[in-house]
Structure 1
Amino acid sequence: MGTVVMSSQQLSFFNEINKEDYQLNEFTDVKNVVPKKSFTSLELFAGAGGMALGMENAGFENLANVEIDKDACDTLRNNRPDWLVIEDDINVVAQKGMKNYIDYDHEIDLICGGIPCQAFSYAGKGKGFADTRGTLFHPMSQIINELKPKTFILENVRGLTTHDRGRTLETMIEVFEDLGYEIVWNILNAWDYDTAQKRERMFMVGIRDDLIRKQQYTYCYPEAQEYKPVLRDILQNVPDSEGREYSKKKYNVMKLVPPGGCWVDLPENVAKEYMKGSYHLGGGKRGMARRMSWDEPSLTLTTAPDMKQTERCHPEETRPFTIREYAKIQSFPDDWIFSGGITSQYKQIGNAVPVTLAKYMGLSMIRYLNQF
């Protein structure tokens, strides 16, 4: 029988990365974890500081924050005057090199980045960086390659795990493995981590290969908490603040919706008029004309509380959530003040990683790093 010669394309078939192999379903209690020494973190796509504040609360020292949005940068500077805020395009920062921005000669323990949820599109797998140019994942991977932190966290929407039938996530895994990191990922729900909001996000964790070889115990995600807060628990004594208002026409529709209800609870003629074409699409649009309930967590906050498809109406009063209520649902403290106009403030809050969820992720990283 003759020798079988395989093309490189056929061989690469056997090296395919399967995202399911990287999903880590190991969890541990991190509530009482304390850092045994000083740990440092650096934030990419810092936004209004949800992830950065969570990491600070877990025990990390903030080295720098990269963010392009002026209002978000002002928010960071006003709340933490001692933090270094790099107000620039991350592509420019990656090109120049982070070492031109920060004066720090030691190893960095953790880099965090919640990449904006733009659409990813890749020509195909197996090309590493070539597949990621033009996405904001690319400069993040460049900065990780430059600084070689011990660990990193990449946060994104749940949909990333299934985007392009999983190829997007698999490409990211491949790139990071090539940079010398072991990768795991899982989906966490903020409601499991002291946050009165159902908000599912993917958290990818990268650990540098040399640490994997030395580790006495493995990384585990933070286990879900028994306490599950609802809006009644957190929307008490909220400071007064600005908020959007409904038009008279919309107010007259929304006042008919009971707590926990949505368009299906409206009289049929009102629902048809309000929903227009969406009415005939049937049951899936439960976000429309949606009023929250005191005895449930909020649904996922978006960049505005009054968008037609993702309505977030106050449980009792017929109005959208105010800025401070929005912030409270994202577990920001009442004294964390947002800069910019009302639209910008809602957007900063809606795009943030909930502070308490970030804190639990930070504690899980400290638990792992404490062993070295």
Structure 2
Amino acid sequence: MIPDYYSIAQVADILSISKETLRRWDSNGTLVPQRHPDNNYRVYHRSQIERFEQAQVLFNSKWDDEASIEAMRKYKLVELFAGAGGLALGMEKAGFESVLLNEFDKHACNTLRNNRPKWNVVEGDITNVDFTEYKDKIDILSGGFPCQAFSYAGKKLGFEDTRGTLFFEFARAVKETNPKVIIAENVRGLLKHENGKTLESIINVIDEIGYELVDPRVLKAVFYQVPQKRERLFLIGIRKDLAPFVKFNWPSPFTRIMTMRDALKKGDLFDTDVPKSAGQTYPQRKAEILSNVPQGGYWRDLPDDLQREYMKKSYFLGGGKTGMARRLSWDEPSLTLTCAPAQKQTERCHPEETRPLTVREYARIQTFPDDWMFSGPLTAQYKQIGNAVPVNLAYAVGRSLINLLNDIEKLDRSSVPLKRECKKNEQMAFVV
């Protein structure tokens, strides 16, 4: 159900602006909150924000319709750089069958094996993996390849010139398997990496190996039933003999923004409160200082003497450093999780208790189910969760991919000579 009233924090998330911007809009009359009729809190009525495109997309969401999409058959998936399974789990939930998952980290591989004993987990360096046995046998290849700098001197950065990078291995796997669709995800920073040259090279290679790229898009997890302000860049490619006949549609957002309360308490996301689990702790003095930070606050909310003690030399430097001494709020999504919840630069303190988030709290914010167990020492578990694609974000994208593959499945190849048609339209440069 879409609510009638929204808090300042919720509107900031919906419109993808800061709360400070909303305060300025309040001062200059652009958008002025009103008093809630029940509790007198300053809020915005739905009618006040409906004029914004971001709000219209949310209020007119087709989330429920997309949730009813079912695969016409079990589509087969190969995943590279699989990590602890966030992307694979979301894709499985959408209707995909994983036939191979490659991952280098031993603890992440154990996590995958322990939770899904039937999954074919190939542990080790991707450069040693031969994918040719899956040639023309899979529907989709996915993976979040690490972003590495390329050397541009005197090169056009085609497929061969990316050799030695993990993206080259991703492209090699595509060439060896010839899937109908490819999906790659990465950090938002890839858009501007090396002034955009890295992404340009990646796009050129995807074209060279025979895939038409959908316009890349940064998806904000907070819009896809994930209680976290995490952003991921998604690249979707459709094989060129198929691309002229189908269209990929990005997933619709969920009807509201999930918060820390949704993550850790019984409600719409989970059937119970978050289970007890292991977690890191703060040194005594750090805990004493952080106990003075209010919900949603950070180091600037401390008394000046504690600011100076905690920040040390950083106290005199510019920049907001809003992640330092940061306490999360029950009524807002979490900030993006890192690989270490007690790291000073990117603090993620529990909303009420003065401690870092536990492993299971971390996992819930990434929308892993409570029965998904992580292997390895505590630091390895945090790292696996912090690096993962949120399960519900992967699920939303996965449903859109299922819809795309259903459309491909419907193509009558006997009556539509795909390759000849593509050549006629001059849209097929090369098909693997």
Q: Find out whether 1:367 has 2:403 as its counterpart.
A: yes
Q: Find out whether 1:107 has 2:143 as its counterpart.
A: no
Deviation, structure 1 residue 131:
3.9
Give the corresponding residue for 2:242. Answer: 211
TM-score when normalising by structure 1 = 0.88
Give the corresponding residue for 1:228. Answer: 257
- Higher deviation after alignment, 228-237 or 238-247: 228-237
Q: Find out whether 1:87 has 2:116 as its counterpart.
A: no
Contact 1:28 1:221 in 2 (8 A): no
Distance in 2 between residues matched to 1:92 and 1:137, nearest whole Å: 15
Contact 1:58 1:359 in 2 (8 A): yes
> Aligned partner of 1:291: which letter?
R
Give the corresponding residue for 1:159. Answer: 189
Q: Find out whether 1:195 has 2:226 as its counterpart.
A: yes
Distance in 1 between residues matched to 2:263 and 2:180, nearest whole Å: 36
> Aligned partner of 2:96: which letter?
F
Q: Secondary structure at the match of 1:206?
A: strand
Deviation, structure 1 residue 305:
0.5
Give the corresponding residue for 1:240. Answer: 276
> Aligned partner of 1:198: which letter?
K
Contact 2:135 2:178 in 1 (8 A): no
Distance in 1 between residues matched to 2:338 and 2:299, nearest whole Å: 19
Give the corresponding residue for 1:253. Answer: 289
Q: Secondary structure at the match of 1:253?
A: helix
Q: Find out whether 1:98 has 2:131 as its counterpart.
A: yes
For 1:135, which of 165, 180, 202 is the aligned residue?
A: 165
> Aligned partner of 2:405: which letter?
L
Structure 1 stretches lacking a partner, 5+ long: 1-25
Which string of whole-angstrom CA distances, capped at 9 and with x for unpartnered residues, describes residues 291-337 of structure 1? 00000000000101011111000000000000000000000000000
Q: Find out whether 1:144 has 2:177 as its counterpart.
A: no
Which string of whole-angstrom CA distances, capped at 9 and with x for unpartnered residues, describes residues 220-267 of structure 1? 111222221101112021111100000011111111100000001011
> Aligned partner of 2:248: which letter?
Y
Distance in 2 between residues matched to 1:320 and 1:149, nearest whole Å: 42
> Aligned partner of 1:340: which letter?
G
Identity of aligned residues (%): 53
Give the corresponding residue for 2:38. Answer: none
Which string of whole-angstrom CA distances, capped at 9 and with x for unpartnered residues, describes residues 87-106 of structure 1? 0101121xxx213xx6x565
1:285-304 matches, cutoff 5 A = 285-304=321-340
Q: Secondary structure at the match of 2:78?
A: strand
- Higher deviation after alignment, 349-358 or 234-243: 234-243
Distance in 1 between residues matched to 2:242 and 2:334, nearest whole Å: 39
Distance 1:105 1:123, change over 3 A: closer
Structure 2 stretches lacking a partner, 5+ long: 1-56, 266-272, 409-432
For 1:121, which of 146, 150, 161 is the aligned residue?
A: 150
Provide runs of 4+ in structure 1 moved above 4 Å: 26-29
Q: Secondary structure at the match of 1:63?
A: strand
Contact 1:131 1:171 in 2 (8 A): no
Which string of whole-angstrom CA distances, capped at 9 and with x for unpartnered residues, describes residues 29-58 of structure 1? 532211112211111001100000000000
For 2:372, which of 320, 323, 336 is the aligned residue?
A: 336
Deviation, structure 1 residue 28:
6.8
Distance in 1 between residues matched to 2:292 and 2:217, nearest whole Å: 39
Deviation, structure 1 residue 122:
2.9
Give the corresponding residue for 2:350. Answer: 314
> Aligned partner of 2:186: which letter?
N
Contact 2:146 2:167 in 1 (8 A): no
> Aligned partner of 1:183: which letter?
L
Distance in 2 between residues matched to 1:90 and 1:223, nearest whole Å: 34
Distance in 1 between residues matched to 2:282 and 2:135, nearest whole Å: 53
Q: Find out whether 1:179 has 2:212 as its counterpart.
A: no
TM-score when normalising by structure 2 = 0.76
Distance in 2 between residues matched to 1:120 and 1:224, nearest whole Å: 33
Which string of whole-angstrom CA distances, capped at 9 and with x for unpartnered residues, describes residues 107-150 of structure 1? 31111101234x42331562313442332111111111111110
User: How many residues of Structure 1 are paired with residues of Structure 2 in the alignment?
Assistant: 338
> Aligned partner of 1:38: which letter?
K
For 1:278, which of 297, 305, 314 is the aligned residue?
A: 314
Give the corresponding residue for 2:70. Answer: 34
Give the corresponding residue for 1:78. Answer: 114
Q: Secondary structure at the match of 2:241?
A: helix
Distance in 1 between residues matched to 2:165 and 2:339, nearest whole Å: 21
Contact 1:107 1:150 in 2 (8 A): no
Contact 1:151 1:205 in 2 (8 A): yes
Distance in 2 between residues matched to 1:242 and 1:212, nearest whole Å: 48
Distance in 2 between residues matched to 1:273 and 1:136, nearest whole Å: 43
Distance in 1 between residues matched to 2:175 and 2:315, nearest whole Å: 50
> Aligned partner of 1:226: which letter?
T
Contact 1:79 1:337 in 2 (8 A): yes
Q: Secondary structure at the match of 1:62?
A: strand
